[in-house]
Structure 1
Amino acid sequence: MRVALCVKRDLFGVIAARRFLAALGGATEVDVFCSTRIRATEGEVDGLRLMGALERDIPLGTLHPATAEEWAGAPPALRPDAWQPLPDLAREGGARTLLARRPDMVVSMRFSLIFPQRLIDAVPLGIINVHPGPLPTYRGLFAPFWQVMRGEPRLASSLHGIDAGIDTGPLIAEHAIPRDESRSLLWHIAELYRGGATLAAEAVRMAAAGSPPRGRPQPEGGQYFRMPDAAAFDAFARGPIRMVSTADYLDLLGEALLPPATALRVAA
């Protein structure tokens, strides 16, 4: 069985990919693709610029290239510099690149592009997605931020099938964590993707065994959230959970960027 893993080349994309690959094991061939889209609004709000630096510029723009020699010999799927970039999902562009690998199933986690129906129809076992919010309540963008802002006592990520809508496909499973005011927003985001990636790996194993998960229709209701503006970031800063802490961030950098052999030695 061949799987296409579609992620973003950033801190949480790497963490999610590494957790997924570790949970999946070696019985399935995995090709990793990454979206390259950066929304224009990311440069217009201070909070979004900070998140862009923490998630993308520092770990993948600076630290990973500076330590590239440490990754010599690592499998391509574990190396974000070896992932196949997808600037779009146009018929003769990114979709053609993706389908050329003939995936039986596609797993999307933190992917910035919307799958068109013709691409969904072309994947035999369908496309599943890890969304970092409970569905249908928190559809859309920046779901962990909005869950924290609304004071949710528990945060959740959802594994769901991809359909023609945005975060509207059938629910397969949910991963929930308690809100922890001693940890940062970045820590909560990572926890949601770790759990979601593990659920996605289990779904792929089920599909490989002949029982692809079908899920159940989402309940009515829910809300679509957009990127937070400056006022939302100001309100978040007055709350009990910090955007980032030094300890959390260093842990996340190690989890994402230590080469596999080094990571195992550190964990031991």
Structure 2
Amino acid sequence: MRILVCTKADLPSLIAMNRLLPALAERHDVEVLLTERVRPAERHLPDLAVLKLLERDLPLSVLLPLAEAAAPTGWRLRSFERLGKELAIQVGTIRQINAGDGFERAVRFRPDLVLSIRFSLVFRQPMLELPRHGILNLHPGPLPGFGGLFAIFRQMKLGRPEIGVTLHRVDAGIDTGPVVTVQPMPIAPGRSMLWHVLRAYEAGVPAILAAVARLAAGQALCSTPQDPERMRYFGLPEPDEFAAFAQAGLRLYDVEEYALDLRRLLGLQVRELVAAALPVEAAGRARLAAEG
């Protein structure tokens, strides 16, 4: 099959791609479209700004290039560019998906199936009609109750014992399409939200590969429509929600955890760099806010 993978240029997506793309490339023609979309709130709200730094700016722009320069081969985590070269996959960054650059690339590729993982753009017509097998999205919350943004944050805030990583078909709504499967992932007590985010999408990769295998074999992919009465969509958390999260003893991120993860993924000792970067980022955001 011809499979178009739509994802975000950030660390959680890259971790999932390092597992997904090699498996797909063995049997299918694959192309990857990346979005670098940044929501305005991610530039101004301190909590969102720090998460952007840890999920995108620091690992992709600074640490991963350092790791690849220090060890050109052999490291577990490969950049989007290196994955493309090693697997002979086209990887492109786009601004739009339903028109313009993204839609043009999708039409040229002629996908049988589109896979969406952490993709920041909403699929509309005519993208929904382009792939004959439709679009499958991996969402880090159980549907229909946890649609939208920051699903892991919401599940932790409610004290749920596990995260439900959902593979579902994409329809004209947002996180409203029929559910293919929900993969449970235990919430580890004491671990931060970011720790869970870095693992949730990778945990959903087996469900994606199983769905792809069924479709490639000519078998129907069973799915269950969501109950509209149970659907709930969440936007970005407000500052008071972040405050309540912290007051409940929960953490968005932890420097020690993050440094250990990056050492595992990249082979770099980065704790001091991360610890130094956070106050610099916070000071920069405060200056921007003061300047209006």
Q: Could you state the TM-score of these two structures normalised by the residue count of structure 2? A: 0.81
Residue 80 of structure 1 is matched in structure 2 by: 80
Q: What letter is aligned with 2:262? A: L
Quote the residue 1:148 is aligned against: 156
Shift of 1:105: 0.7
Aligned to 2:27: 27
Q: Evaluate the alpha carbon distance shift between residue 160 and residue 256 of structure 1 in structure 2; reply closer, same or farther with a 3 A threshold.
A: farther
In structure 1, the partner of 2:232 is 223
Corresponding residue for 1:117?
125
SS of 2:144's partner is: coil
SS of corresponding position for 1:236:
helix
Distance in 2, Cα, partners of 1:192 & 1:47: 20
Cα displacement string for residues 176-220 of structure 1 (whole angstroms, at most 9, x for unaligned residues): 122221322112112321222221121111111112424110123
Percent identity for Structure 1 against Structure 2: 36
Structure 2 counterpart of 1:42? 42
Does the residue aligned with 2:100 lie in a helix, a strand or coil?
Answer: coil
Alpha-carbon distance between aligned partners in 1 of 2:127 and 2:256, rounded to the nearest angstrom: 41
Cα deviation digits, residues 6-27 of structure 1 (max 9, x gap): 1101010101111223554611
User: 1:239 maps to what in 2?
Assistant: 248
- Say if 2:6 and 2:32, in contact at 8 Å, map to a contact too: yes
Aligned to 1:59: 59
CA distance in 1 between counterparts of 2:148 and 2:65 reads: 31
Distance in 2 separating the partners of 1:243 and 1:204: 33
Q: Aligned partners of 2:168 and 2:70: how far apart in 1?
A: 36
Report SS of the residue matched to 2:33: strand
| Distance in structure 2 (CA, Å) of the matches to 1:32 and 1:113 | 14
Report SS of the residue matched to 1:137. coil
Cα distance, 1:101 vs structure 2: 1.4
5+ long unaligned stretches in structure 1:
259-268
How far residue 109 of structure 1 moved from its aligned partner, in angstroms, is 0.3
Q: CA deviation at 1:68?
A: 4.1
Gaps of 5+ in 2: 85-90, 268-292
Q: Aligned partner of 1:38: which letter?
A: V
Give matches, 1:1-268, under 5 Å: 1-24=1-24, 26-69=26-69, 79-81=79-81, 83-220=91-228, 221-254=230-263, 257=266
Greater shift, 24-33 or 111-120, is seen at 24-33
Aligned partners of 2:170 and 2:176 also within 8 Å = yes
Larger radius of gyration: 2
Query: Which amino acid is the alignment partner of residue 246 of structure 1?
Result: V
CA–CA distance in 1 between the matches of 2:56 and 2:47?
A: 14
- The CA deviation at 1:41 is 1.0
Structure 1 residue 127: deviation in Å? 0.6
Deviations 1:148-203 (A, max 9, x none): 11111221110000110000001000111222213221121123212222211211
Native 8 Å contact 1:24 1:202 kept in 2: no
Tell me the distance in 1 between the aligned counterparts of 2:23 and 2:263. 19
**Aligned partner letter, 1:48:** L
* CA distance in structure 2 between the partners assigned to 1:239 and 1:181 by the alignment: 13
Coordinate RMSD, CA, aligned: 2.3
Checking the alignment, whether the CA contact within 8 Å between 2:7 and 2:33 is kept in structure 1 is yes
How many residues are treated as equivalent by the alignment?
257
Tell me the TM-score normalized by structure 1. 0.87
Task: Write the letter of the residue equivalent to 1:223.
Answer: R
Find the aligned partners of 2:174 and 2:156 in 1 and give their Cα distance.
22
